[in-house]
C-alpha cells in the first residue's frame, strides 16, 4: 500500500514538473496562458475498515487549470499587431468560407497574406464584421474573414470644393491693376491645390485673392476695406495656366469681379465683425436693384472645362467646379486657409497605411487621400474561460463547460478595447515558476525517498529467517 502511495506522489510531482516546465518553455509565446496543476487526495473506506485509523491512498491530479489573467504588453511598429486590453478573444478560422468553425485566441500577431486577407502566423483567417461604408456601422454581426483591398475606387472627377479661410483685414490693394495671373503685383495672396478630371488625372488649381482697399487713393473708400476679389485658374495638360471664370448667373448683382483679358471672378464682402456680409436694404448710394445689397455669396458655380478651353485629354469636358465657402472670416490676423477640401475628386488609390482603433475598426488609407473603414475586428467571449479546450498555438475551442461563444464589439459592454501596434505577452511570472519548479523537485525527491524506504523495509522482511 505504501509503495502505491509513494508512486502516486511521484506521478503528481512529475505532473507538476511537466506543467511548470511547459509554462517556462512558453514564457515568450504571445497570448499564452499559464497552467496550474491542481491535486486531490485519494481516500477510500468500507464497512469492514475503521475510518479513524484508515490512511489515505495517495494523490491524484484533479485538473490542469489555465489562468486567464492578462499578460504584459510588448509594443511594435506593426499596426496589424493587436492585443485585447480587457476581456475577450480574437476569433480565427482555418477556412474563410466556414467561419462558424472558429477558434479563440489572445495572440494578435496578424499579417496580410498574398490575397490581402488578415491571417495569423499559421495562416488562420482573422474574423470580423462587414461595415456599412456610409455610416461606418456594422452591417451584419455574422463574422467573416477580413480583407484589405490594396487598390481603392475608380477615379472620380472633382465637383464641390469646400473652402474655409481668413483674409487679413490689414491687406491693401496691390499696386498693379487689373488682376492678371501672370503679374504677381496684381494680386495679394494665392493658394494652390490639386483637382482631378473624370479619368483621375490631376490638375493644379490656383486661387488668387485681391484686396480692394486703397488707403492712398484721393478719396479712400473705407467700405472697400471689407471687400476682396477672388479669381481661379487651372493649369492644363500642356502646362498652360488658363482662367476658370465664375458663371455670371450664379452671382448676385454687384458681386462680379473683372480681371485682365475678360477674366471674371467674384467678390467676397465682410461686415465690421469680420463675418461674411449678410446683406442690407434701402441704401440710396447703391445702384439697382432698388437700393438692395445682396448677401455675399457662399456658393459660386464656375464655368465648365470646355467653356474655359482647358485641354482634358479625353476626359469629360463638361466637368464644372462649385466653390462652397464655409464661414470665411476677415480678422486682424494672418492669411490662413483652414480648409480647402475636394469633396468628390480622386484618382485611383493604392494602399499606403492601415490603422485599427480601440473599437476594432480597420481604417485603410490610400494614396489618393481617401480613407476607408474596411471592416471591424470581431470579439468573442465565453462565460467560463477555464472550461475552454486548449488546442495549442495559443488557440482554444468552446465546450459545454465554457458555454457558448458570445459575439460583440471591442470597447462595448464586457469586451475589452483593442490596442494596435501592441502584442500581449504570456502571463508567466518567471520568478514564481522557478519557485514552483524547486517545490515540485523537492516533492519528487521526497516521494522517491518514500519509495526507497518502502523497498528497504520489504527487503528486510524477506531476509528474516
CB 246 within 8 A of CB 301: yes
Instruction: With a cut of 80, say whether residue 292 has pLDDT above it.
Output: no
Instruction: With a cut of 90, say whether residue 196 has pLDDT above it.
Output: yes
Instruction: With a cut of 90, say whether residue 41 has pLDDT above it.
Output: no
What tens digit of pLDDT does each residue of 235-261 get? Answer: 987 889 999 999 988 898 889 999 998
What tens digit of pLDDT does each residue of 347-378 get? Answer: 888 888 899 999 999 999 888 778 889 999 99
> Which among 161, 159, 157 is positioned nearest to 315, based on CA atoms?
157
Q: Please tell me which of 6-20, 221-235, 303-317, 440-454 the model is most confident about, judged by mean pLDDT.
A: 303-317
SS3 39: strand
pTM of the model: 0.65
Between CA 315 and CA 319 the distance in angstroms is: 9
Helix axes 430-462, 2-25, angle to 10 degrees: 160
**How crowded is residue 295: how many other Cβ atoms within 10 Å of its Cβ?**
13
55 φ, ψ (degrees, to nearest 5): -90, 165
Q: In this prediction, what percent of the chain has a pLDDT beyond 90?
A: 57
The least confident of 123-127, 407-411, 451-455 is 451-455
The topology (CATH level 3) of 160-342 is: Tick-borne Encephalitis virus Glycoprotein; domain 1 (2.60.98)
Q: Where are the domains of the chain?
A: 3-67+431-463, 72-148+351-425, 160-342
Instruction: Tell me, rounded to whole angstroms, the distance of Cα 455 from its chain centroid.
Output: 68
Between CA 299 and CA 162 the distance in angstroms is: 9
CB 354 within 8 A of CB 346: no
Mean pLDDT of the chain: 88
**pLDDT band for position 286 (cuts 50, 70, 90):** very low
What tens digit of pLDDT does each residue of 46-100 get? Answer: 666 666 666 777 888 888 888 999 999 999 989 999 999 999 999 999 998 888 8
- Per-residue pLDDT, averaged over 304-308, amounts to 94
What tens digit of pLDDT does each residue of 144-192 get? Answer: 999 998 887 778 899 999 999 999 998 999 999 899 999 999 999 999 9
What tens digit of pLDDT does each residue of 181-193 get? Answer: 999 999 999 999 9
CB 363 within 8 A of CB 72: no
SS3 12: helix
What tens digit of pLDDT does each residue of 389-400 get? Answer: 999 889 999 999
Amino acid at each position: 500500500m505504501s509503495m502505491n502511495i509513494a508512486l502516486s506522489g511521484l506521478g503528481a510531482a512529475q505532473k507538476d514538473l511537466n506543467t511548470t516546465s511547459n509554462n517556462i518553455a512558453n514564457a515568450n509565446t504571445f497570448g499564452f496562458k499559464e497552467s496550474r496543476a491542481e491535486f486531490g487526495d485519494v481516500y477510500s473506506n468500507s464497512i469492514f475498515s475503521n475510518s479513524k485509523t484508515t490512511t489515505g491512498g495517495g494523490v491524484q491530479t484533479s485538473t490542469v487549470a489555465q489562468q486567464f489573467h492578462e499578460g504584459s504588453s510588448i509594443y511594435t511598429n506593426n499596426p496589424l499587431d493587436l492585443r485585447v486590453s480587457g476581456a475577450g478573444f480574437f476569433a480565427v478560422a482555418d477556412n474563410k468560407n466556414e467561419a462558424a468553425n472558429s477558434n479563440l485566441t489572445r495572440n494578435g500577431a496578424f499579417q496580410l497574406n498574398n490575397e490581402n486577407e488578415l491571417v495569423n502566423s499559421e495562416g488562420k483567417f482573422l474574423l470580423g464584421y462587414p461595415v456599412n461604408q456610409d455610416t461606418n456601422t456594422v452591417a451584419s454581426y455574422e463574422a467573416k474573414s477580413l480583407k484589405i483591398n490594396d487598390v481603392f475606387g475608380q477615379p472620380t472627377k472633382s465637383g464641390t470644393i469646400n473652402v474655409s479661410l481668413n483674409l487679413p483685414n490689414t491687406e491693401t490693394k496691390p499696386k498693379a491693376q487689373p488682376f492678371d495671373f501672370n503679374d504677381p503685383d496684381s494680386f495679394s495672396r494665392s493658394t494652390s491645390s490639386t483637382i482631378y478630371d473624370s479619368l483621375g488625372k490631376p490638375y493644379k488649381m490656383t486661387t488668387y485673392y485681391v484686396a480692394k482697399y486703397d488707403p492712398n487713393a484721393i478719396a479712400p473708400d473705407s467700405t472697400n476695406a471689407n471687400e476682396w476679389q477672388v479669381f481661379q485658374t487651372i493649369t492644363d495638360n500642356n502646362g498652360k495656366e488658363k482662367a476658370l471664370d465664375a458663371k455670371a448667373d450664379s452671382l448676385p448683382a454687384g458681386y462680379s469681379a473683372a480681371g485682365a483679358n475678360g477674366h471674371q471672378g467674384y467678390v467676397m464682402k465682410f461686415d465690421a465683425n469680420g463675418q461674411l456680409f449678410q446683406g442690407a436694404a434701402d441704401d440710396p448710394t447703391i445702384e439697382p436693384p432698388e437700393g438692395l445689397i445682396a448677401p455675399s455669396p457662399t456658393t459660386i458655380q464656375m464655368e465648365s472645362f470646355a467653356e474655359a478651353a482647358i485641354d482634358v485629354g479625353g476626359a469629360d469636358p463638361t466637368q464644372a467646379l462649385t466653390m462652397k465657402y464655409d464661414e470665411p472670416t476677415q480678422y486682424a490676423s494672418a492669411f490662413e486657409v483652414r480648409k480647402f477640401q475636394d469633396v468628390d475628386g480622386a484618382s485611383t488609390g493604392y494602399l499606403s497605411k492601415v490603422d485599427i482603433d480601440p473599437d476594432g475598426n480597420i481604417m485603410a488609407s490610400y494614396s489618393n487621400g481617401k480613407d476607408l473603414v474596411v471592416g471591424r475586428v470581431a470579439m468573442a467571449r465565453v462565460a467560463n474561460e477555464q472550461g475552454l479546450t486548449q488546442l495549442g498555438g495559443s488557440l482554444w475551442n468552446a465546450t459545454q463547460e465554457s458555454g457558448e461563444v458570445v459575439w460583440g464589439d471591442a470597447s462595448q459592454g464586457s469586451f475589452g478595447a483593442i490596442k494596435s501596434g501592441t502584442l500581449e505577452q504570456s502571463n508567466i511570472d518567471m520568478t514564481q515558476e522557478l519557485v514552483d519548479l524547486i517545490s515540485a523537485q523537492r516533492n519528487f525527491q521526497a516521494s522517491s525517498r518514500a519509495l526507497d524506504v518502502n523497498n528497504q523495509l520489504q527487503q528486510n522482511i524477506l531476509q528474516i529467517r
